Chain A
Amino acid sequence: MISKRLYFLSLAFLSFLSCAQDKNPVNTNHDYEVVVPELSIPWGFVFLPDNSMIINEKEGKMIHFKDGKKTNIEGVPEVYNRGQGGLLDIALHPKYKENGWIYISYASSEGDDNGGHTAILRAKLKNNKLVDKQLLYKATPNTTRGQHFGSRIAFDNEGYLYFTIGERGEENVNPQDITRDGGKVYRLHDDGSIPSDNPFVNNPNAKKAIYTYGNRNPQGMVLHPTTGEIWTHEHGPRGGDEINIVKAGANYGWPVITYGINYSGTKITDETARPGMEQPLHYWDPSIAPSGMAFISSDKYPGWKGDLLVGSLKFQYVDKCVLKDGKVVKEERLLDGLGRVRTINEGPDGYIYVGIENLGIVKLLPKK
C-alpha cells in the first residue's frame, strides 16, 4: 500500500518535473469550420481578389483553391525540402489588383555551396502558372543544417517589403554579424532594390538589406492595423520565444541575451538584458513554438478587436493575446488541440483563418 502510494507520488513528481506545461486557460467561446480540408503543412496562404486562395504546402506544392477545388500551380521554383526548409510564406503586393505581384519565401539550394538557404522571389500568376519570376534575395552561404530558415513576408503602409531569415542553426556565427545572412529581419523595395535609408547601407561590408539583427528564427510577422508598425515573433531555444516590434537597425540580442536555455538544459548565458539590445514586448517560457501571427482588426468577434493571435506548434492552439499599454496582459487558448498551428491570417471578410498541420485551413467563428 505504502509502496503504491510512493509510486504515484513519485510519478506525480516526475511529471511535474519533466514537462513545463503552459498554463494558458482554454477559451470555449468560439467555434470553427474547416474551409480547406486535407492539407499537410500549409505554411502560408493568401486570399486573391476573387476570394479564391493560394496555399503554400511546405513540400513544394502551391495550391490554388477555388470553388472548393484544389489545383496545383505550375512553375513553382524548386525548393530545398529538408528539415524546416521548403516552400514557406506567400504574400500579395499591397497593389496586387494593379500589378499582380505575388511574393514567396522558400528554402533554395541555388548557388555553389552544398545545402540551402532562404530565398525571396516574386512572380505573377497566369493561366495557373507562375510567370515573370524574379529572384529578389537569396541568403548565403548554403548549409545542410536543417533549422531556422524563417521566413515570413509583410508589407508596411509605405509599400516596403519586409522578410525574416532565421540563423540556420549557427547562433554563434550569424545573428550578431551584419556582414552575414541569417538571424535578421530584412527590408527591400517591392522590386528587390535596397532602400537608400536602410540602417546599414553605409557599413562597407554589411548586407545592405538588413533592417534588424540579433534575431533567432522569426516565423511570424504582421503589420499592426492601426499603428503601422511591423510586429514579429520568433522561436527561442528552450524558453525565450519572443514578440518584438521591428525598429530600424535594432539588435534583438540573440544569443548574447535571451530568456531561454539550451535544449539540453544547459545555460546559454546569464544575461537577459544589455544596453543597446532590445527587450522583447513579451516572451514565453516554456516555449510555445510560435508560428503565424495576425491581429483581429474587424468587429466579427465581440470584445476581441485589437487582440493579437499567435499560433503554437508545440502545444497546438492559437494563443489569443490581449494587449494593454504595450504589454501582453492575458492569454487564452483558441482552437485548442486541433493540431500544430502553422499560419494565421485575417481574411478580406474580417474572419480569422488558421492553417493547421494535417488538417487544413480553419475559419474561426464567434459562438452562436
Chain B
Amino acid sequence: MYPFFLIFLSFWSCNDVKLQQPEFQESIQRGAVVFEDFCMQCHMADGKGVPKAFPPLANSDYLMKKRKESIKAIKFGMSGEIIVNGQKYNTAMAPLGLSNKEVADVMNYITNSWGNKNDKMVTEDEVSKIQQ
C-alpha cells in the first residue's frame, strides 16, 4: 500500500514545479527581497508578527491553509476580522502595489520560511487569475 501511495503522489504532483528546482528557489530568493521591502516592518523578520496587531506568517494556519485568500490579501490588501492560529486580528493591510510576479515570489518565500513548507510553487499565472 505504501509504495503504491508514493507512486500515486509523485504521479499526481508531476505537473508542479518542485521545491528543489532552480525556478522555485529563484522565486523564493526574489521573494525574500520583496518581503524585506514591503512586509517585514509589520510581520517582522522572524515572521512572528506583533501580538494583537499583525498576524504571524510563521507556522500560520491561515497562510498555509488558505492559499487563495492569502494571495488575494497580498494582491489587493485586506480588511476585516481574520483568525490566525486561534487569535483574532482586525488590522487592515493596505494594498501594496506589487506586480503579480512579486506576489508569487513573496508567497513562495513566506510559505517556505520559518518552518513553513510549501511544495507547490505559486506562479504569476496563478496570481493573475485571482480576482478581488
Binding site for B on A (CB under 8 A): 15, 18-19, 40-41, 58-59, 80-83, 85, 145-147, 169, 262-265, 289, 314-316, 339-340, 357-358
Contacts and interface: CB of A to CB of B under 8 A. Distances in A.
Contact of B44 (A146, A263, A339, A357): A263
Q: Is the interface of B mostly helix, strand, loop or mixed?
A: loop
A81 B97 CA distance: 6
Interface string B50-89: 1101000000000000000000000000010000000000
Interface in B76-108: 79, 91-92, 94-98
A314 B92 contact: no
A340 B92 CA distance: 10
B103 to A, nearest CB: 13
18 contacts: A18-B48, A19-B50, A40-B94, A41-B94, A81-B97, A83-B96, A85-B97, A145-B37, A146-B37, A146-B38, A147-B37, A147-B38, A147-B41, A263-B36, A263-B44, A264-B45, A314-B50, A358-B92
A357 B53 CA distance: 13
A262 B40 CA distance: 11
Contacts of B40: 263
B23 to A, nearest CB: 22
B51 A83 contact: no
Nearest to A315: B53
A323 to B, nearest CB: 28
A314 B41 CA distance: 9
Nearest to A21: B51
Contacts of A18: 48
A289 B92 contact: no
Nearest to A18: B48
